[in-house]
Amino acid sequence: MKQLTDFPYSNVLVLGLARSGTAAANVLLDSNRNVRINDMQAKEDDETVEELKSKGAEVILGTHPLHVLDGIDIVVKNPGIPYDNNILIEATRRDIPIITEIELAGQLADGEIIAITGSNGKTTTTTLTNEMLSKSNLPVKVAGNIGLVATEIAQLVDRKESLVLELSSFQLLGIQRFKPSIAVLLNIFEAHLDYHKSMENYMEAKFNIFRNQTEEDYLVFNADDSKIASVIDKASSQKVPFSVKQRLTNGAWMDQDYLYFREEKVMPVSDIVLVGEHNLENILAAIAAAKLRGATNEGIYEVLTTFSGVKHRLQFVDNIEKRFFYNDSKATNILATQKALSSFKQPVILLAGGLDRGNDFEELLPYLKFVKGLVVFGQTSEKLRELGKQADISTIINANNVEDAVEKAYEASEEEDVILLSPACASWDQYRTFEERGDMFIQAVHRLK
């Protein structure tokens, strides 16, 4: 296992285990650092805890006592732990640095790092970039918020490889020197304000992706996003824009017929199989990042003529009796559902609902013109019923859960209808994760057969 060779801290607190904390603790222990672990949920007899103890870690479980900071030089925190946690407040008071394991991953990877962030589209763009490089016969690995722990994968990356990382604002908030060779900034919308407390804080976290870049690096950015365009001058890196609206001599762009990179024609727009106008932005961003690392037009074409979506993100599931089922369980906010609805011009039966965060959903109204039926579930059922009435949707059905919603939507459907799960809500009122909710949708669709 690789060791950290340029990490000037001897005594480290790993706050929160889970997968990223466990990976960080293992790297630190293998790098001969003194590691203390503090976690609320883990148990003394957990296999992971026992293994870390056997390697020399001190483990404190069940509470967050402030004395875990005594003698500590730096905190490596789980990205999901908010900064108003009492340990982090005290660490800040003591001037103890706080990072996430992404900082460690950046030091472990020997190859070039492509880091991708944005409010929406991160997973799709990360997947596309990885596939474009792979299909161009270029060595590449992928990790980060996409589901693979960055610190674990980074240890496997050699000098000839690229490491494509999907990064959240939570992860980017905890960096010191992390510096990708190519940073990709997709878009900025209001999100995660319960964590970041303000839009300004959220944006600053996202903009950390280019903070440490130099003139040798590249920043791929959305030229159509005003929030991004207003800050890119702060970046020292070479700017490579992408746009679905304007011709660009130094970036990725499109017209009605073709996708381009700089002045080079890449492929016809009509050959793309991934649905959704918003995905054209993700595609252009991926093309820019991949071309900067040497991807071929042939490799890009192979990906874009076969890739139909990431699981739970406007994923085509099946065609049953000419009803087309799409799983967009990742749509945990109104903006994501707006984008999903904008992807279809045929009749849609929308399955929506979930955790009530206080939204009134009126921002969805302009996007419901093709919605012929609405099946609602979860805590927001009544709010969504009222929305359907405002939109003059004739068929509004209550369901117990996603599985029940699939059956009722199918019963109400006709040939050529799209049956779309795009909840506009988090899943936590009925399901542990949006992935579990999406899996239940997929299973219910398959049962219809």
Say yes or no: 144 and 158 in one domain.
yes
Residue 2: inside a domain? no
CATH number of the domain where residue 444 is located: 3.90.190.20
| Phi, psi for residue 131 in degrees, rounded to 5 | -70, -40
Say yes or no: 63 and 141 in one domain.
no
Residue 202: inside a domain? yes
Q: How far is it, in rounded angstroms, from Cα 69 to Cα 424?
A: 40
Say yes or no: 91 and 112 in one domain.
no
Which of 283, 304, 325 represents a domain boundary (last residue)? 304
DSSP reduced 3-state for 218: strand
Say yes or no: 114 and 58 in one domain.
no
In terms of DSSP H, where are the helices of 342-416? 381-390, 402-412
Residue 310: inside a domain? no
Number of domains in the chain: 3
Which of 240, 273, 304 represents a domain boundary (last residue)? 304
> Would you state the structure tokens that stand for residue 366, as one six-digit string?
């302009």
Residue 415: inside a domain? yes
Say yes or no: 107 and 94 in one domain.
no
Q: How many residues are listed for the chain in this entry?
A: 449
Cα-Cα-Cα-Cα torsion 247, 248, 251, 255, nearest 10 degrees, comes to 10
Residues 6+ away with beta carbon under 8 Å from 286:
125, 128, 129, 132
pTM of the model: 0.81
Helices (H) then strands (E): counts for the chain? 16, 20
Say yes or no: 41 and 152 in one domain.
no
Residue 350: inside a domain? yes
Say yes or no: 154 and 251 in one domain.
yes
Say yes or no: 281 and 140 in one domain.
yes
CATH number of the domain where residue 38 is located: 3.40.50.720
Say yes or no: 324 and 212 in one domain.
no
Domain range for 269: 102-304
What's the pLDDT score for residue 195? 62
Residue 299: inside a domain? yes
Specify whether the CB–CB gap between 33 and 71 falls below 8 A. no
Query: Residue 1, Cβ neighbours under 10 Å: how many?
Result: 11
Say yes or no: 319 and 279 in one domain.
no
Residue 293: inside a domain? yes
Q: How far is it, in rounded angstroms, from Cα 4 to Cα 401?
A: 47
Which of 99, 131, 152 represents a domain boundary (last residue)? 99
Specify whether the CB–CB gap between 197 and 217 falls below 8 A. no
In terms of DSSP H, where are the helices of 144-272? 150-154, 169-172, 193-196, 199-207, 226-229
Say yes or no: 370 and 420 in one domain.
yes
pLDDT in tens, the chain (449 residues): 789 999 999 999 999 998 999 999 999 999 999 999 999 999 999 999 999 999 999 999 999 999 999 999 999 999 889 889 999 999 999 999 999 999 999 999 999 999 999 988 899 999 999 999 999 999 999 999 887 999 999 999 999 999 999 998 889 988 999 999 999 999 886 655 566 567 777 778 889 999 999 999 999 999 999 989 888 999 999 999 999 999 999 999 999 999 999 999 999 999 998 887 789 999 999 999 999 999 999 999 999 999 988 888 888 899 999 999 999 999 999 988 998 999 898 999 999 999 998 888 999 999 999 999 999 999 999 999 999 999 999 999 999 999 999 999 999 999 999 999 999 999 999 999 999 999 999 999 999 98
Residue 4: inside a domain? no
Say yes or no: 196 and 278 in one domain.
yes
